[in-house]
């Protein structure tokens, strides 16, 4: 948060009231930087990921512009609808969409729609969400009733456009959200076709967590003299998260998870698996073991995904097992722990996962289960995040490689072995032996006296096989070979996730 207020940024009264109801006391850094420029009509390139408050950063200026440009607006911002976005009586008009927000995943689109609903609650503007995986019937009906703001995934939007159900010719605002994921998921062609149908005179905003070459090319095509606003997602999200790693054999991970879940402090937990099948299987096993669990992944019907999320949000399920793509962008408050049941081979996925438990400044705990074969992934993660991950020792399922051959899964009388993981539990600092009391042991093997002391070069020279940080880039994934390799890896995994 910053010390300015939303009013200082130029946000109008009705929006401010809605923000107060959301308990947003101060703008986040991305809001602070983006809102005044967007209100002034500039195009914007935002390097930020979900969790930074970027939705409000683009939604508030759009709502304010659309309301100001609304026919018949006399400056009185009160809404005259029934609270559900439906206007009635003599004020009813058939709105034509003037703002389009495109998001790569259905969950993210729904979440953005939800944000427009809450921020725009005192304004007489309508929005609707267009997404695939469900019948188009209600979406077509909403469109024909008239909407001001469209939030959409590209595939279904293009489909409805080609069927003649949606008019794009009056759009004055365009947002492309999660640009890097959008392109990774193969939406570039659809996105280009949609943009070609929009007026060239418009305000355009592109948000992306990273800036690989294809995203910066797209930015060059669609943005006109943009301001560039960057908040470093890794620093914001990962630094606030208490990160710990358990060395454990693959076959013992489920037992370790059940063991940890006995701690009631793990009250709202997202568990990440690498595959869709793995997510389903683990959810069933946890449910059978007595832990109310839901799962979301790409093989589930949209309605099943939504009801799983709703149950988890309401606390009916304590655990949500998810794959990366399904969970990207999901905003669920109060997640106490993220568990990386399998470590992702792409460090950025780790950052996204871990960010689920430290939304907009809140703190959280991320626990990673690392099999011997996953150690290189751990090294890659530490190199990108530039932070050591604390090793939890003496847990009952510690793998032999981490204990010098001793099998700690065999019952032993000592209670001190039990690794605490709850919020109140003291952080365990592994390998900080008596002679080096203030040092942390890096999970990937190095010794890291201080966070600042962690340079990419130092670790890279330690012989890791993971590609080093590309010169001149922030994260080594944004240019040339490393970016291409990352996208190839994602494409290979796309059918599994
Ligand atoms: P986003 O990055 O847009 O997905 O937002 C992440 C979370 O931060 C959401 O739960 C928002 O409701 C919350 N949020 C956004 N802006 C603020 C703010 N200024 N103060 C507090 N929470 C915020």
Q: Is the CB–ligand 1 distance for residue 28 below 6 Å?
A: yes
How many helices (DSSP H) and strands (DSSP E) are in the chain? 19, 16
What is d(CA 249, CA 172) in angstroms, rounded to the nearest whole number?
A: 54
Question: 132 CB contacts (<8 Å, ≥6 apart)?
Answer: 106, 153, 155, 156, 159, 302
Question: 138 CB contacts (<8 Å, ≥6 apart)?
Answer: none
CB atoms within 10 A of CB 460: 16
Q: Is the CB–ligand 1 distance for residue 359 below 6 Å?
A: yes
Helix (H), strand (E) at residue 44: strand 44-47
* Ligand 1 centroid from CA 198, angstroms: 29
Structure-token pair, residue 452: 């600042």
Strands 319-322 and 440-441: what pairing? unpaired
Cα angle 291, 297, 303 (rounded to 5 degrees) comes to 90
* Ligand 1 centroid from CA 31, angstroms: 10
* Ligand 1 centroid from CA 136, angstroms: 30
Q: Is the CB–ligand 1 distance for residue 53 below 6 Å?
A: yes
What is d(CA 167, CA 236) in angstroms, rounded to the nearest whole number?
A: 39
* Ligand 1 centroid from CA 126, angstroms: 21
Q: Is the CB–ligand 1 distance for residue 55 below 6 Å?
A: yes
Q: Kindly give the number of the ligand 1 atom that is closest to the alpha carbon of 333.
A: 10
Tens digits of per-residue pLDDT, 175-227? 999 998 888 888 999 999 999 999 999 999 999 988 888 999 999 999 999 99
* Ligand 1 centroid from CA 22, angstroms: 9
How are the residues of the chain apportioned to helix, strand and coil, as percentages rounded to the nearest 5? 40, 15, 45
Q: Is the CB–ligand 1 distance for residue 27 below 6 Å?
A: yes
Q: Is the CB–ligand 1 distance for residue 24 below 6 Å?
A: yes
Task: Tell me the residue ranges of DSSP E strands in 292-353.
Answer: 293-296, 319-322, 337-340
- Select 235-403's CATH number: 3.40.1160.10, 3.40.50.300, 3.40.50.80, 2.30.30.90: 3.40.50.300
Question: 170 CB contacts (<8 Å, ≥6 apart)?
Answer: 96, 97, 98, 199
pLDDT of residue 58: 98
pLDDT of residue 210: 82
Q: Tell me if 13-231 shares its fold with 235-403.
A: yes
Tens digits of per-residue pLDDT, 270-318? 999 988 899 999 999 999 999 999 999 878 887 888 889 999 999 999 9
Q: Is the CB–ligand 1 distance for residue 56 below 6 Å?
A: yes
Q: Whose CA is nearest to atom 20 of ligand 1?
A: 24
Helix (H), strand (E) at residue 486: helix 480-494
Say whether pLDDT at 251 is over 80.
yes
What is d(CA 74, CA 86) in angstroms, rounded to the nearest whole number?
A: 20
Question: 313 CB contacts (<8 Å, ≥6 apart)?
Answer: 332
Query: Which of 54, 55, 119, 233 is the pocket-test mutation for ligand 1 (most atoms within 8 Å of CB)?
Result: 55
In this structure, are residues 210 and 475 in contact, taking their beta carbons and an 8 Å threshold? yes
CATH class of 13-231: alpha beta
* Ligand 1 centroid from CA 330, angstroms: 12
Helix (H), strand (E) at residue 286: helix 276-288
Q: Kindly give the number of the ligand 1 atom that is closest to the alpha carbon of 24.
A: 20
Q: Domain-by-domain residue ranges, the chain?
A: 13-231, 235-403
Mean pLDDT of the region 8-20:
95
Tens digits of per-residue pLDDT, 133-146? 889 999 999 999 99
Q: Whose CA is nearest to atom 10 of ligand 1?
A: 331
* Ligand 1 centroid from CA 30, angstroms: 10
The pair phi, psi for residue 102, each rounded to 5°, is: -105, 130
Residue with the bigger pLDDT between 436 and 295: it is: 295
Q: Kindly give the number of the ligand 1 atom that is closest to the alpha carbon of 26.
A: 19
Structure-token pair, residue 204: 């355009």
Closest CA to 191 of 134, 238, 243, 153: 153
Most confident of 49-63, 324-338, 475-489: 49-63
Q: Kindly give the number of the ligand 1 atom that is closest to the alpha carbon of 52.
A: 2
Say whether pLDDT at 466 is over 80.
no
* Ligand 1 centroid from CA 173, angstroms: 21
Dihedral sign for Cα atoms in the order 281, 287, 291, 293: positive
Q: Is the CB–ligand 1 distance for residue 52 below 6 Å?
A: yes
What is d(CA 324, CA 131) in angstroms, rounded to the nearest whole number?
A: 19
What is d(CA 204, CA 178) in angstroms, rounded to the nearest whole number?
A: 14
Q: Is the CB–ligand 1 distance for residue 360 below 6 Å?
A: yes
Q: Whose CA is nearest to atom 1 of ligand 1?
A: 53
Cα angle 253, 49, 376 (rounded to 5 degrees) comes to 35
Say whether pLDDT at 75 is over 70.
no
What is d(CA 148, CA 132) in angstroms, rounded to the nearest whole number?
A: 20
Identify the residue whose tokens are 């418009």: 202
Q: Counting beta carbons within 10 angstroms of the beta carbon of residue 142, is it exposed (0 to 12), middle (13 to 18) or buried (19 or more)?
A: middle
Mean pLDDT of the region 490-494:
44
């Amino acid at each position: 948060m910053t010390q300015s207020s939303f009013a200082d940024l130029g946000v109008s009264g009705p929006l401010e009231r809605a923000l107060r109801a959301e308990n947003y006391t101060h703008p986040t850094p991305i809001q602070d930087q983006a809102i005044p420029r967007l209100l002034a009509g500039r195009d914007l390139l935002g390097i930020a990921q979900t969790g930074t408050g970027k939705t409000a950063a683009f939604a508030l200026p759009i709502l304010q512009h659309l309301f100001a440009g609304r026919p018949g607006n006399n400056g009185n911002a009160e809404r005259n609808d029934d609270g559900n976005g439906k206007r009635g009586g003599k004020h009813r008009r058939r709105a034509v969409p003037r703002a389009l927000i495109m998001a790569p995943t259905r969950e993210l689109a729904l979440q953005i729609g939800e944000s427009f609903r809450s921020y725009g609650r005192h304004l007489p503007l309508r929005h609707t969400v267009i997404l695939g995986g469900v019948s188009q019937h209600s979406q077509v009906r909403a469109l024909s009733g008239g909407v001001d703001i469209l939030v959409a995934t590209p595939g279904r939007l293009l489909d409805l456009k080609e069927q003649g159900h949606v008019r794009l010719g009056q759009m004055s605002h365009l947002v492309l959200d999660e640009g890097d994921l959008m392109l990774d998921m193969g939406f570039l062609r659809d996105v280009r076709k949609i943009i070609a149908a929009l007026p060239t005179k418009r305000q355009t905003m592109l948000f992306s967590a990273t800036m690989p070459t294809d995203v910066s090319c797209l930015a060059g095509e669609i943005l006109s003299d943009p301001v560039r606003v960057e908040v470093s997602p890794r620093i914001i999200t990962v630094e606030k998260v208490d990160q710990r790693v358990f060395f454990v054999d693959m076959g013992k991970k489920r037992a370790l998870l059940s063991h940890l879940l006995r701690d009631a402090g793990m009250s709202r937990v997202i568990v990440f698996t690498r595959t869709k099948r793995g997510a389903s299987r683990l959810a069933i096993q946890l449910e059978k073991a007595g832990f109310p669990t839901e799962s979301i992944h790409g093989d589930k019907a949209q309605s099943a995904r939504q009801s799983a999320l709703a149950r988890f949000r309401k606390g009916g399920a304590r655990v949500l097992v998810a794959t990366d793509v399904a969970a990207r962008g999901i905003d669920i408050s109060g997640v106490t722990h993220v568990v990386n049941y399998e470590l992702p081979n792409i460090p950025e996925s780790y950052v996204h996962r871990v960010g689920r438990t430290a939304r907009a400044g809140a703190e959280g705990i991320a626990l990673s289960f690392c099999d011997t074969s996953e150690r290189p992934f751990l090294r890659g993660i530490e190199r990108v995040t530039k932070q050591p991950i604390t090793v939890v020792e003496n847990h009952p399922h510690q793998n032999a490689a981490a204990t010098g051959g001793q099998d700690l899964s065999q019952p032993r009388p000592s209670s001190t072995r039990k690794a605490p993981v709850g919020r109140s539990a003291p952080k365990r600092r592994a390998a900080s032996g008596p002679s080096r009391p203030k040092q942390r042991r890096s999970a990937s093997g190095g010794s890291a006296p201080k966070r600042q002391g962690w340079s990419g070069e130092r670790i890279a020279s330690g012989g890791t096989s993971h590609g080093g940080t590309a010169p001149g880039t922030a994260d080594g994934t944004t240019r040339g070979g490393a970016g291409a390799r990352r996208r190839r890896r994602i494409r290979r995994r796309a059918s599994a996730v």
